[in-house]
Structure 1
C-alpha cells in the first residue's frame, strides 16, 4: 500500500503556491473580477487541453485531439494578451469559439449519446462569468438556438454523427474524461464568486465600522463643542458681570471715601462692606485664574506622600479667621498620623474652596467641621456645616460648569467655579468627590484621596 507523507508540506510552500496563482491571474488592483475569472478559466482549459491532446490522439480521436490543440492555442493567445499586454479579452470571440468547437465535437463524438452535452451549459456559464450583464440574455439565446440546431441536424441528418467509441468501455472512458471540464469550470467560477462576495462583505463591514466610529467621533466633537460653548458663555458672564460688579462696588466706595467726609460712626461700617466686596472679588478672581489655567495647561499633577495635617494646617487656620468674621465657628479634627498621596497645592485649593463654600451658605452663629478618617486604602476628608443645604434643583449640576451661582446667607455671590475646581482637581489626584445635604439642616462635602497610611 502506498503511503503519502504530508508532514513535509509546510505553510510557506502553500503560501508560495497561492502567491504563484495570484501572479498568474493578476491582482484585483490591476484587473476586474471578470478578467481574473477569464485568466483562471484560460489556465484551466490550457492544462486540460494539454492532457486531452495526447489522450485523444492515442485513442484515435484525431479531430478531438485537434480540437483540444486549437483550444489550447486560442486560450493561450487570449490569456497572454489579456494578462501581460493589458488588452481586454474578447467576450464575443470566447463565446463563438465555444459554439464552433462544441458543435464540431458534437458530430464527431457520438452526438446526443456522447459527452458534449455535459460541456455546453458549463461553457455558457463561463461566458456569463466573463461578460457584462447586458450581454447575458444575448448569449443565452444564441447558445439555446445553437444547441437546438445541432440536435435538429442530428435528428434529420443522423449520418453526420460519428461514433468513435464502442458501447460500454468506450462510452465510460468518454464520460469519465469529459466530466473534469465542467467540474473544474464550476469550481473556479464558484470560488471567485464566493471570494468576491466575502471580500465585498468584509469591505462593507469595515465601512460600517468606520461609519460608526466616525459617528461616535462626531458626537464626541459635538459634546466637546457644546462644553466649550458653555465654558465660553460662563467665562464671558464672569468677566462681564460677576467680576465686574464687585470691582465697581469697590470703585464706588473708594470714590465716596474720597469725595465725602465720613463720620467716625459711618467709616467702620463702610470699610467693613468694602472689605467684604474686595474679598468676594478676590475669591472670584482666584477661582477664575485657577480654572483658566487648568483649561489651558491641562493636567500637571505632582503627587507625593504628604502628612495631611501639616499640609492643611495653614489653610485651616486662615479659613478659621475668615469664618470668624461671619461669626461662624470652624473646628477641625485631623489625626497627625494621617498621610496621603496628593498634590499639596491642589489639595489645599480643594479644601479651601469647600470651606469657603460652607462659610458662604452658613448663617452667622453656625458651625463648620472639617474631619479626616481612614477608610480601607483611602482617606476621606469631609467639610460639614449646619447651613441652608443644597436646593434639589441645583444638586444634579452642582459639580458642573453649567451650575448657576447662588447668593450666600450674607448676600455673597460666587461665580459657580469653586465646586467645579474641587471636582477637577480631586480627580486629577486619583480621588473622587461627593456630598450629602438636607434642606435647612446642612450639607456635608467629602473627598476621597489615596492614603499612604498603613
Structure 2
C-alpha cells in the first residue's frame, strides 16, 4: 500500500516541481537551478521574519521582510519572464546590500551575519555564470571586509542586540543549521542535475555514434551495390551501340535495361529518403487516405517486375477503406514490401496483396510464395546484409528499415511471418480514418 501511494505521489511531486522551477523542455539547467534556489530562499527568509521578531531582532525581521518582497519579484522575473541574467544580478546586489545593513543590527562580528554572508556567496556561485565569478567574489569580499573594518573603528555602530547569552545561542544555532541544510540541498540538487545532464549527453553521443556507424555502412553498401546495376546498364548500352540487333532482341534488351533502371531507381529513392530522415527527421502529414488510391500506382509500377518473372499478382483491396496515414510514407512502405515479394518469389510464383479490417484497424498483407525468410533477427534494421533475389536482384538492405521507421511515424505496426505452405507474409497495420 505504501509503495503504491509513493508511486501515485511521484507524478504529483514532479508536476509541482515543474510548476515551481520550470519544465526542462522550456528552461535550461541554469534557469531551473536559480528558480529552485529562489523558492528555497523565499521559504527560509519568510520563516526568519517572525522568528527574528520573536527573538527580539526587530530590525533584522524588517530587513528579512524586505528580502521576501525583493526575492518574490526576482523569482517572478526568472520563472515567468525568463530573464535569468537580470534576476541573478539583482539577487546578488540586493542580498549583499541588505545583509550589510543587517550586520549592524544583528550583533556585528559576534552575530550570525558572517554565516549568512557565507551562505549567500555559496548560492551566488551556484546560480551565476563562470564569467561572473570574479565580480561576485570581489563584491562579497569587499562588502564583508568593509563592514568588519567599519565596525572595528566604530564599535558603537553595532547595536547590542543580545541581552543574554541565551539570545546569542538562539540566533547562532538556527542560522548555522539553516546554512548547512541549504548547502546540503543545493549541492545534492546540483549534483543530481549534473548527473541527468551527463546522462542526456551520453545518450546523444551514443545516438551520434550509432548514426555514424550506419552512415559508414550505408556508404560502403552504396559503393559496392551500385556498381553491378551501373555495369549492367553500361554493357547494354555498349551492346546496342556496337551490334545491329534484331527488333526482337532489341526489345528484350530494352526491357531488361528498363528493369535494371527501375531497380536502381528504387534503391536510390530509399537512400534519398533515409538521408532526408536523418537530416530533417520524419516529416509526417497524417490525413485521411484511401488505401486503394494509394496502392494502385504501386501495383502498376511493379507489373514489369512480376511479368518478367511470370509471377501471378493477385489483389483483394477494399476500394472504400480509408486510413489515417501519410500518403507518401504509405506508398513507400507498400512499394518496398511488394518489391521484396517480387524479388524473392521465383518464376511462376504468386504474390497476394490483401486488405482487411482487424480490431478496428486496417491490415494490409503482402504475401509471396518464395522460400521464406531465414535471417529473421534484426530484419527491420540496417544490421541485415542485403541478399540477391531469385533473379539476382540487388538492393542496399534498407527497405525494411525504412518501412519500420515510417510505420512507427504513422502510429502503426509492421511484422512478418513465414507461411506453412511456403513463402512469407508481411503485415502493415494502420488506424482506420473513421
- Normalising by structure 1, report the TM-score: 0.60
- In structure 2, C-alpha distance between the alignment counterparts of 1:194 and 1:359, rounded to whole Å: 77
Q: Match of 2:233?
A: 250
Quick check: 254-263 or 344-353, which moved more?
254-263
Name the SS of the counterpart of 1:86 in structure 2: helix
Is 1:86 equivalent to 2:69 in the alignment?
no
Task: Kindly indicate whether the alpha-carbon contact (under 8 Å) linking 2:371 and 2:423 is maintained by their aligned counterparts in 1.
Answer: yes
Q: How does 1:183-198 map to 2 (within 5 A)?
A: 183-198=166-181
Name the SS of the counterpart of 2:433 in structure 1: coil
Is 1:407 equivalent to 2:374 in the alignment?
no
1:259 to 239, 242, 255: 242
Query: Which one has the largest radius of gyration?
Result: 1
- In structure 1, C-alpha distance between the alignment counterparts of 2:323 and 2:247, rounded to whole Å: 51
Deviation at 1:45, TM superposition (A): 8.6
Q: How does 1:166-245 map to 2 (within 5 A)?
A: 181-245=164-228
Task: Kindly indicate whether the alpha-carbon contact (under 8 Å) linking 2:290 and 2:323 is maintained by their aligned counterparts in 1.
Answer: yes
1:346 to 311, 329, 349: 329
Residue 439 and residue 296 in structure 1: after superposition, are their counterparts in 2 closer, same or farther (change >3 A)? farther
> Residues 390-430 of structure 1, C-alpha deviation per residue, up to 9 Å, x if partnerless?
223xx332222333211111111111221122122222222
Q: Match of 2:63?
A: 23
Residue 446 and residue 293 in structure 1: after superposition, are their counterparts in 2 closer, same or farther (change >3 A)? same
Q: Match of 1:329?
A: 312
Q: Match of 1:274?
A: 257
Q: How does 1:133-148 map to 2 (within 5 A)?
A: none
Residue 367 and residue 39 in structure 1: after superposition, are their counterparts in 2 closer, same or farther (change >3 A)? farther
Q: Match of 1:365?
A: 348
Deviation at 1:279, TM superposition (A): 2.5
Residue 205 and residue 36 in structure 1: after superposition, are their counterparts in 2 closer, same or farther (change >3 A)? farther
1:355 to 325, 338, 363: 338
Residue 202 and residue 322 in structure 1: after superposition, are their counterparts in 2 closer, same or farther (change >3 A)? same
Runs (5+) with no aligned partner, structure 1: 1-11, 47-80, 95-125, 127-179
Q: Match of 1:118?
A: none
Residue 299 and residue 189 in structure 1: after superposition, are their counterparts in 2 closer, same or farther (change >3 A)? same
Runs (5+) with no aligned partner, structure 2: 1-44, 53-59, 68-90, 112-141, 156-161
Task: Kindly indicate whether the alpha-carbon contact (under 8 Å) linking 2:46 and 2:64 is maintained by their aligned counterparts in 1.
Answer: no
Name the SS of the counterpart of 1:299 in structure 2: coil
- In structure 2, C-alpha distance between the alignment counterparts of 1:347 and 1:388, rounded to whole Å: 26
Deviation at 1:387, TM superposition (A): 1.6
Name the SS of the counterpart of 2:366 in structure 1: strand
- In structure 2, C-alpha distance between the alignment counterparts of 1:403 and 1:88, rounded to whole Å: 76
1:421 to 402, 409, 433: 402
When the two chains are superposed, the root-mean-square deviation of aligned CA atoms in Å is 4.2
Residue 23 and residue 331 in structure 1: after superposition, are their counterparts in 2 closer, same or farther (change >3 A)? same
Is 1:378 equivalent to 2:361 in the alignment?
yes
Q: Match of 1:442?
A: 423
Task: Kindly indicate whether the alpha-carbon contact (under 8 Å) linking 1:384 and 1:443 is maintained by their aligned counterparts in 2.
Answer: yes
Deviation at 1:256, TM superposition (A): 2.7
Quick check: 329-338 or 313-322, which moved more?
313-322
- In structure 2, C-alpha distance between the alignment counterparts of 1:44 and 1:266, rounded to whole Å: 107
Residue 187 and residue 377 in structure 1: after superposition, are their counterparts in 2 closer, same or farther (change >3 A)? farther
Deviation at 1:238, TM superposition (A): 4.2
Residue 405 and residue 452 in structure 1: after superposition, are their counterparts in 2 closer, same or farther (change >3 A)? same
Task: Kindly indicate whether the alpha-carbon contact (under 8 Å) linking 1:390 and 1:438 is maintained by their aligned counterparts in 2.
Answer: no
